[in-house]
Structure 1
Amino acid sequence: MGEGIPMTNSTDVRQADAAHGREMDPRLFREVMGGFASGIVVVAGMVADEPVGLTCQSFTSLSMDPPLIAFCPALSSVTWRRIRPTGAFCVNVLAAEQRDVSGLFGQRRDDKFEQVPWRRGVSGAPLLDGAAAHIECEIAEIHPGGDHEIVVGRVVALTGDAERMPLLYHRGRYGVLAP
């Protein structure tokens, strides 16, 4: 097996405690998981002809055949509860210069789409201008995942701009890939 990430003694002890059925330290969990760099997306949908969206970093490709993606919105997300019954959404992969868009869609406010140019995709879901990619989906499955849901989307259309660098998130900060 490959080498693991070195852990401090206190981490090793807390890790062992979790392995023996004791409660996991949520701060340790957040710290360790924050060490995994991820992209930032805005999941958006149309609800009664009104665009709605939320920032999400738990997004991944899932399958090539059929083309599937997955993302994990919090159960507490009011925006996701509004998008869910529509059956369709667009994953807008944010570009490096869209930090402000990530912050905007991470807030609870009604005027998000008044501040960001967008257009409707073939699915009817909002596609944010300037995004590195747009992945339009129909909801294929939803599974429970603790305090989140695991949403599997069947890809119905997609576009990407290979010239745009993606916005990344790592240890609580935004970043970009080196050229």
Structure 2
Amino acid sequence: MKKYIVLAGLLMNTATFADTYVNIETNLGKISIELYDQQAPITTKNFLKYVKKEHYNGTLFHRVIPDFMIQAGGFDQNLQQKDTDQPIKNEASNGLKNIRGSIAMARTSNPNSATAQFFINTQNNTSLDQTPYNDGYAVFGKVIQGMQIVDQISHVKTTVYGMQQNLPVQPIIIEKMTIQKNKPN
């Protein structure tokens, strides 16, 4: 069965958009994501740049909020913030929604402040979508394998440590990310 999405009022086959896949190997298991290179070209290019530089290797899932999202990509295992490149333009107007399993860029209150941090939605979070009154958070892909790992992460015990709230008590580490052009089996 073919899958379709509505983008800018046009009905489109999703198979034409899935260009790149990334495997996220964590200490709890593997998560595979499909990136939407065509709908979020700036965001996808930025994310892949960090993957290629091995920026994410050894980073933590440092913010875990049950029934909301899990966030990673900014801190090493010593909770030291990692250096990043310049922020990118917010692509939240791309028509993609913050639904369960989608991956989006984290940012500050400045809509154009996303660098390396990303999050995976563990439920439908329509409040994070762009509206006339909300700049939104740019979705650029979705989990295609390992959602059970995402769910497992989303329910770990968390604590407050310094400036970090919702920090997992037991570190959840991204050991390695790898890019592949073909859909994982």
Q: TM-score range by the shorter chain?
A: under 0.3
Higher RCO (C-alpha under 8 Å, 6+ residues apart): 2
* Higher gyration radius (CA): 1
More helix by share: 1
Q: TM-score, normalised by structure 2?
A: 0.27
Q: TM-score, normalised by structure 1?
A: 0.27
